[in-house]
Amino acid sequence: MSRPTPLVAGNWKMNGLRAALAEITGMGQAYDAGLKSKLELLICPPAILIGAAADVARGTGIAIGAQDCHAKADGAHTGDIAAEMVADAGGSFIIVGHSERRADHGESDAVVHAKAQAAVRAGLKAIICVGETEAERRAGKTLDVVGRQLDGSIPASLTAANLVVAYEPVWAIGTGLTPTAADVAEVHAFIRQRLGQIIGKEAGGVRLLYGGSVKPSNAAELMGVPNVDGALVGGASLKASDFMAIAGVYR
Ligand code: PEP
């Protein structure tokens, strides 16, 4: 299978008021035809900005997505949003199972699995996040943990067209620390192989993103690792200049 088109995705987390949408305008201006032919770009703003972000991004080629969704399509779930609402607002991706959701909201692999199914039910793409804690890495359990998360979180019916997997070591998120290229290569090769057991032949075409302290100065090295098909970027996605410098490694 040929290499999938890379995806560089920004996760704004709980950052950004309406004024921040100007950054998407700036990203759109820098996302020229040359770059568009090389990679896809995605911004996942806070849920309340998804509709406005989709309006701002229209015509730029930048996709807009959500950082989470509920597993159900509607109902009595105060404060939650359904995947169908993300689609209705103009979103096309949903991040599920981010470690901050797993830790802050107690989301289990089963919950993440249900949310990924919800994203696909709504016609969207699921970005399923996995990754070990620092203690798990020190104990030599990285592949065990990631394997268990993949097995529990990924619906077997997903395909290369609607599934993206993000490897995000918890200890690398927002810390400025990153694994070595060799460590990333080992985990991504393992993810590709394990995905084959879960979804079969489609695994070869699934984008595997690396996430955790990606910035302009380390993007080229991390994006050059085998089986790394893009990045999930937190802090450095808030400014158009940083985000587009990361995307620019694919030029
Ligand atoms: C993230 O939260 O998905 C992330 C990768 O954050 P940061 O780039 O800030 O480490």
* Index of the ligand 1 atom closest to the CA of residue 236: 8
Query: In this structure, is residue 229 part of a structural domain?
Result: yes
* Index of the ligand 1 atom closest to the CA of residue 235: 9
Ligand 1 pocket mutation pick from 127, 130, 214 by most atoms within 8 angstroms of CB: 214
Domain count for the chain, please give it.
Answer: 1
Which residues form ligand 1's pocket by a CB distance below 6 Å? 11, 168, 173-174, 211-214, 232-236
Query: In this structure, is residue 1 part of a structural domain?
Result: no
List the residue whose alpha carbon is closest to atom 1 of ligand 1: 234
Range of the domain at 113: 7-250
Query: In this structure, is residue 96 part of a structural domain?
Result: yes
pTM greater than 0.85 (yes/no): yes
Ligand 1 pocket mutation pick from 213, 228, 243 by most atoms within 8 angstroms of CB: 213
Flag whether pLDDT at 4 surpasses 80: yes
Distance 11 CA to ligand 1 centre (A): 7
Predicted confidence band of residue 3 (pLDDT cuts 50, 70, 90): confident
pLDDT tens-digit series, residues 227-239: 999 999 999 999 9
pLDDT tens-digit series, residues 204-217: 999 999 999 999 99
Q: What is the 3-state secondary structure (H, E, C) of the chain?
A: CCCCCCEEEEECCCCCCHHHHHHHHHHHHHCCHHHHCCCEEEEECCHHHHHHHHHHHCCCCCEEEECCCECCCCCCCCCCCEHHHHHHCCCCEEEECCHHHHHHCCCCHHHHHHHHHHHHHCCCEEEEEECCCHHHHHCCCHHHHHHHHHHHHCCCCCCCCCEEEEECCHHHCCCCCCCCHHHHHHHHHHHHHHHHHHHHHHHHHCEEEEECCCCHHHHHHHHCCCCCCEEEECHHHCCHHHHHHHHHHHC
| The pLDDT value given to residue 1 | 55
Query: In this structure, is residue 104 part of a structural domain?
Result: yes
Task: Please report, for the domain that includes residue 184, its CATH number.
Answer: 3.20.20.70
Query: In this structure, is residue 148 part of a structural domain?
Result: yes
Segment 179-187 shows an average pLDDT of 98
Query: In this structure, is residue 76 part of a structural domain?
Result: yes
Distance 127 CA to ligand 1 centre (A): 14
